[in-house]
Amino acid sequence: MSRLLGGTLERVCKAVLLLCLLHFLVAVILYFDVYAQHLAFFTRFSARGPARALHPAASSNSNCSRPNTTAPSSGLPEVPSARPGPTAPVLPPCPDSPPGLVGRLLIEFTSPMPLERVQRENPGVLLGGRYTPPDCTPAQTVAVIIPFRHREHHLRYWLHYLHPILRRQRLRYGVYVINQHGEDTFNRAKLLNVGFLEALKEDATYDCFIFSDVDLVPMDDRNLYRCGDQPRHFAIAMDKFGFRLPYAGYFGGVSGLSKAQFLRINGFPNEYWGWGGEDDDIFNRISLTGMKISRPDIRIGRYRMIKHDRDKHNEPNPQRFTKIQNTKLTMKRDGIGSVRYQVLEVSRQPLFTNITVDIGRPPSWPPRG
């Protein structure tokens, strides 16, 4: 009997022990479940800000300044730490017919024209003579090239009139004065080749080149300094010629070519030292490549010339007529691909970039007669 009671008591004790163990396991499970809920609650609370200091490690990670890294996700929607900065507005294209043009202009060269005055008149022009319209995007980037020597008086008037005209025309442009060093015979066309190359060194986006004498000022701002499908001659009616084209093949004064057109004719000739001939050679090059010259209406293509004494180092080239007749033979070897020069100084002035160059000396010509 006692043996039977002992076995029953042993089974009861085992059952109680198993029940206690089961109770303990249930308590442990419930404990961890409640702990997890409390942990999630405090995590959400600290993410909202007040208790951020309780988790310095997390704060230091969120403020890390390493580029191109991604913070681990917490499972909650990401909130940007700061608003992105404003993006630059997309400007519309500049109109083909700018609305601010004046038309016919009164051009005179009697008033004093200090550079300080011209600078005050053009506050939007940047150092080096660069300008970009603030309200539209131009279709072209224009380099204005001026062959130059000893014409500071003329340059001041040119800058006074041309900067406002070019700005009203909504052009993105730069002005380059190519100054021939020394007192040897002047070479206009070679200086223009130098200007083409040096402007592209500064800004490879130039795709339109306006070649202008420093003593010519347009009398109408509707004569737009842009490049088109064909080379363009702007100065078709100068006052010194009675506001008429002197002859059909005249291409002097002010002209414009796109980068592709300029390279197609191998640039300008380098061998025309002294006055005259290079414009006719350029006209021949254009004709030989199958292009045609475009011109503005004569009513808006008028120019005034600033009077000056002829430069003693710019006498007529005695061989110019022979050279003009041989353009077909010389244009492939004489041009932008063969120009040789040395840049002596580049000076970016408030209204233009001055580039002083040594272009060498002319060959010795046989005496005339």
Strand, helix or coil for residue 93: strand
Instruction: State the chain's mean pLDDT as an integer.
Output: 83
Catalytic one among 275, 299, 311, 348? 275
Q: Are 352 and 176 in contact (CB under 8 A)?
A: yes
Task: Give the lowest-confidence range in 64-73, 90-99, 107-116, 132-141.
Answer: 64-73
CA-CA-CA-CA torsion sign (205, 207, 208, 209):
positive
In the chain, the percentage of residues whose pLDDT exceeds 70 is: 75
**Cβ atoms 256, 211 nearer than 8 A:** yes
Q: Clarify whether 313 is annotated catalytic.
A: no
Residue 206 has pLDDT above 90, yes or no: yes
Q: Has residue 328 got a pLDDT over 50?
A: yes
Q: Which two tokens stand for residue 181?
A: 């060093």
DSSP string, 137-202: B-S-EEEEEEEESS-HHHHHHHHHHHHHHHHHTT-EEEEEEEEEPSSSPP-HHHHHHHHHHHHHHH
The C-alpha atoms of residue 273 and residue 49 are separated, in whole angstroms, by 79
Does 279 participate in catalysis according to the annotation? yes
Q: Say whether 345 is catalytic.
A: no
Catalytic residue among 184, 305, 313, 358: 305
Cα distances from 227 to residues 132, 171, 282, 287, in angstroms, run 17, 11, 16, 17
pLDDT at 322: 81
Residue 261 is predicted with a pLDDT of 98
Contact 222, 101 (CB under 8 A): yes
Active site residue 308: yes
Question: Tokens 């020069």, residue?
Answer: 341
* Active-site choice (149, 154, 158, 213): 213
Q: Quick one: 335 exposed, middle or buried, by C-beta within 10 A (0-12, 13-18, 19+)?
A: buried
pLDDT of res. 309:
62
310 catalytically annotated: yes
How far is Cα of residue 223 from the mean position of the Cα atoms in its chain? 22
* pLDDT recorded at residue 338: 96
| Strand 342-348, strand 353-358: pairing | antiparallel
Look at residue 179 and tell me whether its pLDDT is greater than 60: yes
Specify the CATH class of 125-358 in words: alpha beta
pLDDT of residue 60: 37
Q: Which is the catalytic residue, given 44, 52, 104, 308?
A: 308
H-helix or E-strand spanning residue 304: strand 302-305
| Mean pLDDT, rounded, for 281-288 | 96
Confidence category of residue 19, pLDDT binned at 50, 70, 90:
confident
Task: For residue 33, indicate whether it is catalytic.
Answer: no
Q: How confident is the model over 320-343, as a mean pLDDT?
A: 92
pLDDT at 365: 58
How far is the CA of 55 from the CAs of 41, 47, 60, 78, 369, in angstroms?
15, 10, 9, 18, 101
The alpha carbon dihedral of 114, 120, 126, 129 has a sign of negative
Asked if the model's pLDDT at residue 64 lies above 60, the reply is no
Q: Check if the beta carbon of residue 309 is closer than 8 Å to that of residue 243.
A: no
Q: What is the mean pLDDT of residues 16-44?
A: 58
